[in-house]
Amino acid sequence: MTAYLDHAATTPMLPEAVAAMAEEMTFAGNASSLHSSGRRARRVVEEAREQLGVALGASPSEVVFTAGGTEADNLAVKGLFWARRAADERRRVVVASPIEHHAVLDPVEWLVTHEGAEVVWAPVDHAGRVDLDGLEQLLDARHESVALVTVMWANNEVGTIQPVERIAELAHRHGIPVHTDAIQAVGHLALDFAASGADCLSVSGHKLGGPVSTGALLARRGLDLVPGLHGGGQERGIRSGTLDVAALRAFAVATTLAVEAQPAESVRVAQLRDDLIRAVWKAVPDAVLNGAVPPEVDGLGPALAAADGTARLPGNAHFTFPGCEGDSLLYLLDARGVECSTGSACQAGVPQPSHVLLAMGVAEATARGALRFSLGHTSTAGDVAALAEAIGPVVERARGAGLSF
């Protein structure tokens, strides 16, 4: 039986979401059509929009549906940049953290290459947390030229949680809008868009039990965004394209259920995560836990200690294994029925060390030996036990066979 420890890449759809999608697929109707079937489809879409708003602390009018998290990130980064630059030619600087997902990093780099933007990297510490003092100094010095700040809510590789509310406060002192990629946070952390202070927030359906290719950008009312897609003028003209009614209904159902279950589920999953960390350290004492260290396991291994153990996603455990290549460990574990990743699934197969670890000050050779174990709503103690049994022999074999660098 396979132990699936890659929920950060994608998590199984919730049965209720599958049922909602299957039922909705039996109906015809374009949500932009004016006949009865179209009006019915539009009603389903708007009910899904209301559900998402309630679950995430946003007004329904602030929910812009997209085809996933990558599109939401692109719309936010490019849309804000273009709108701010059009209003003031001086505003060409994008402030971003160097540990962002490539769905943010690549649009930023594209703006630099094609649109004359300048990127300024917000400093991060050894746990991957944004240095607020450094960010404050940066914004004080460059605020007249800054178009936007973009910092993810929780890191997809090492699980570090950012102080989004404080970041928004610092940016808003200078009237600078803030985008946060919350794709790993929704359904796993307590989250309220209105209370966060962020101006726009990205969410993805398949990370929380919904279908792939569903997502949304929560955009504060009155926020000026230049659309990246043009066509039928759907979604307030911000994102054209025929809406997938069945998928959006399932997305809303999954989000609602994930948010409702989050308080208890986060505790359950965090306990499994802590058991997993202890098991890895018992089998491989020199394994290094990257990111913030939960207080329940701090001091039990050669960890990079962080002061606040609550600053880590409940289902994330990210290790580096000295003397091993991460890809080799992944394949050896897979052969034993344990599935995990070396980092972002979007970068899988790319033979280069994690940009997240490098930004945190981890040496390149060390960064190549990384594995991410991520738990979710279907995770059990049996999954942890399977890893505990496999990890020691796998690391020993990788080192003994010279599967290193």
pLDDT digits (tens, 9 = 90+) for 39-64: 999 999 999 999 999 999 999 999 99
- Helix, strand or coil, per DSSP, at residue 181: strand
**How far is it, in rounded angstroms, from Cα 200 to Cα 171?**
13
Lowest-pLDDT choice from 183-187, 290-294, 345-349? 345-349
356, part of any domain: yes
Let me know how many helices (H) and strands (E) the chain has, helices first: 12, 12
- How many structural domains compose the chain? 2
Are residue 353 and residue 313 in the same domain, yes or no?
yes
Are residue 272 and residue 246 in the same domain, yes or no?
no
Share of the chain above pLDDT 70, in %: 93
Are residue 287 and residue 246 in the same domain, yes or no?
no
DSSP annotation of 341: B
**How far is it, in rounded angstroms, from Cα 96 to Cα 226?**
19
Are residue 155 and residue 285 in the same domain, yes or no?
no
229, part of any domain: yes
Are residue 200 and residue 266 in the same domain, yes or no?
no
Q: Which domain holds residue 367?
A: 3-9+262-400
Active site amino acids = 346
Q: 256, 276, 293 — which closes off a domain?
A: 256
Backbone phi, then psi, for 6, in 5-degree steps?
-135, 40
Q: 256, 280, 308 — which closes off a domain?
A: 256
Q: 256, 285, 302 — which closes off a domain?
A: 256
* pLDDT value at 404 more than 90: no
Confidence of residue 343 (pLDDT cuts 50, 70, 90): confident
Are residue 209 and residue 325 in the same domain, yes or no?
no
Task: Please give the pLDDT value at position 401.
Answer: 72
Count the Cβ atoms, other than its own, within 10 Å of residue 268.
16
Are residue 238 and residue 290 in the same domain, yes or no?
no
For residue 366, what is the domain's CATH number? 3.90.1150.10
405, part of any domain: no
* pLDDT value at 300 more than 70: no
Task: Please give the pLDDT value at position 311.
Answer: 86
Are residue 66 and residue 163 in the same domain, yes or no?
yes
Task: Please give the pLDDT value at position 308.
Answer: 45
Are residue 247 and residue 281 in the same domain, yes or no?
no
Of the candidates 133, 183, 186, the one whose C-alpha atom is nearest the C-alpha of residue 155 is 183
- Helix, strand or coil, per DSSP, at residue 103: helix
Are residue 189 and residue 221 in the same domain, yes or no?
yes
Are residue 79 and residue 94 in the same domain, yes or no?
yes
355, part of any domain: yes
Residues 6+ apart with CB under 8 A from 260: 55
Task: Please give the pLDDT value at position 346.
Answer: 53
Are residue 338 and residue 382 in the same domain, yes or no?
yes
